[in-house]
Structure 1
């Protein structure tokens, strides 16, 4: 069986963790992969810990990323790095919130899409596929803002992690 890619998002309620994982799941499905997704809500809808697992590949049997097997950990809030760190495999990639320059976003609500842009720099999914998934999930009036946030995240990750 070919490799399954394991991605975990971590953050706080209200940051768009679940929206980001929904967009990722849509993008990988549009790219032709089997995808499974699960989520864990914290003690409150706004402000509590939230995480979401996305697994994709030719065939995915379970939605949960086993502890120590995440290929990528995307964290939207710095306080959530440590609690989510155990899911990351030893050679996995942590994408922390500071990968996005604090003054780079026109609207802080698009931070989750910027973090998707950062993740996209590592995945072999066409940029157009990502944008289609973003546009399918978010209101048309937000497309330009989120396209810019996605591009910022992609550029920032490439610079930070020395990706081509």
Structure 2
């Protein structure tokens, strides 16, 4: 399999790193070689945060080179243009506007909802996503986040992303 490059970006406290943990775990469970890196910036003060996840066969570096992200997931609209240079020509941008404003019961699950949207263009089976969510989130959050993931998937399909 060709290497898949995914960048997840947002602001500190939005769950960028948790989303990248779930993605990396799901890809690993699917049998891929996975590398992940993080750039925290001023994350404790609501500053920019990004995480690169690369998976496929024989991944040597965790960093996604500029202009080579197949998928860019951005959790905060103000971070779209800042991170757009990471996206390759023809790559897929997934931003909060993929969801209707009232779609989520809990805004803290936006990261998982946007992962759900990303899952429609990433070759990882559903059972690996669910197992990764369960492994990376507290049990009391499983149902809420499974619903958010599905809301993201449905929104992406409605927009023709899959």
What TM-score bracket applies, with the shorter chain setting the length?
Answer: over 0.9
Deviation at 1:109, TM superposition (A): 0.7
Cα distance change on mapping 1:93 and 1:162 into 2, 3 Å? closer
SS of the residue aligned with 1:45? helix
Deviation of 1:46 (Å): 3.7
Unpaired segments of 5 or more residues in structure 2? none
Given the two structures, how large is their TM-score scaled by the length of structure 2? 0.97
Aligned to 1:53: 52
Q: Aligned pair count?
A: 162
Unaligned stretches of 5+ residues in structure 1: none
Cα distance in 2, alignment partners of residues 90 and 156 from structure 1: 23
1:161 and 1:78 mapped to 2: Cα distance?
A: 20
- How far does residue 154 in structure 1 lie from its aligned partner after superposition? 0.6
Alpha-carbon distance in 1 for matches of 2:155, 2:72: 16
User: 2:11, 2:43 within 8 Å by CA — same for their partners in 1?
Assistant: no
Distance across 2 between alignment mates of 1:126 and 1:46: 36
* Structure 2 equivalent of residue 102 of structure 1: 101
Which runs of at least 4 in structure 1 moved beyond 4 Å after TM superposition?
Answer: none
TM-score, length of structure 1 as denominator length: 0.96
